[in-house]
Amino acid sequence: MTPGDRKKVLFVCVGNSCRSQMAEAFARAYGSDVLIPASAGLRPASAVASDTQRAMVEKNIELRDHFPKHVKQLGRAHFDLIVNMSGTDLGKVPGDEVIRWDVDDPIRATFERHCEIRDEIERLVMNLVLDMRKAA
């Protein structure tokens, strides 16, 4: 697969502080051969949650340089796939296909629960990557 054949995938949650950041990071780590990941939020937080950063370090993925972005900051960017993790309607976000992942928001959860959600997101992303590889 050439770089031009990779699918652009946007992960969206509410604050772009936990779920979508984890999904983007896992997608970058596991699926860079088939996709180009990005993430954004509907109401971005001021920073990536410290528990999210800590949970991802346990998976040897560093989020120290990541920051929340608003979907409006994407401008006219177009995505092949949008993964809605927000639990709400996204409105007009430019994409060919939208799928929904019902994943709890860990922002106010215990660290243990945060890690359970991280692991759920990791499984979802890995399944997406595997499906994309089969399709390629």
Domain assignments of the chain as residue spans, ordered by start: 3-135
Q: Is pLDDT at 21 greater than 90 in this prediction?
A: yes
pLDDT tens readout for residues 51-110: 999 999 999 999 999 999 998 888 778 899 999 999 888 877 777 799 999 999 999 999
- Residue 1's pLDDT band (cuts 50, 70, 90): low
- What pLDDT does residue 39 have? 96
Paired tokens of 67: 């920051």
- Residue 114 and residue 107: Cα distance in Å, rounded? 8
Class of domain 3-135 (CATH, top level): alpha beta
Amino acid at 118: R
- Residue 67 and residue 21: Cα distance in Å, rounded? 8
- What pLDDT does residue 3 have? 58
Amino acid at 51: D
pTM, full prediction: 0.94
Pairing of strands 79-84, 7-13: parallel
- CA neighbor of 132 nearest in space, from 80, 73, 95: 80
Q: Is pLDDT at 26 greater than 90 in this prediction?
A: yes
